[in-house]
Amino acid sequence: DTAVSQTPKYLVTQMGNDKSIKCEQNLGHDTMYWYKQDSKKFLKIMFSYNNKELIINETVPNRFSPKSPDKAHLNLHINSLELGDSAVYFCASSQGDLSYEQYFGPGTRLTVT
């Protein structure tokens, strides 16, 4: 069984559109994350969320918003997509805070044209 899953795996869209990426974990973890990995393979944390608190990396544009319908899901919604948003987006989860091992989903490759 897949521990952390994401859909879609590939997403191609035009500038200005709004899109969502879904993430689910079946590990019973308390905390979920979204990361962006750019073309230079630089992995950057965007959000950290548990059932009590959303922590946002202040450098992330407010066009990006995480939405969590329940503890096992953390979706990423992106408004008004820009060319620079093209990257691979990884969802991850951990049992606790950032001191815990993280389990990553397979990634979603977003291409904005």
Partner 1 sequence: GQNIDQPTEMTATEGAIVQINCTYQTSGFNGLFWYQQHAGEAPTFLSYNVLDGLEEKGRFSSFLSRSKGYSYLLLKELQMKDSASYLCAVYGAGSYQLTFGKGTKLSVIP
Residues that bind partner 1 (CB under 8 A): 40-45, 47-48, 55-57, 90, 97-99, 101-107
Q: Is the dihedral of CA 81, 24, 106, 54 positive or negative?
A: positive
Q: How far is the CB of 56 from partner 1 (least distance, A)?
A: 7
Q: How far is the CB of 17 from partner 1 (least distance, A)?
A: 25
Q: How far is the CB of 33 from partner 1 (least distance, A)?
A: 8
Q: How far is the CB of 53 from partner 1 (least distance, A)?
A: 8
Scored b (16 or more CB within 10 A) or e, 58-75 reads: eebeeebbbebeebeebb
Which CB sits closer to partner 1, 44 or 63? 44
Q: In angstroms, rounded to a whole number, what is the distance separating the alpha carbons of residues 91 and 21?
A: 9
Which CB sits closer to partner 1, 75 or 93? 93
Q: Is the dihedral of CA 22, 102, 72, 77 positive or negative?
A: negative
Which CB sits closer to partner 1, 45 or 112? 45
Which CB sits closer to partner 1, 73 or 107? 107
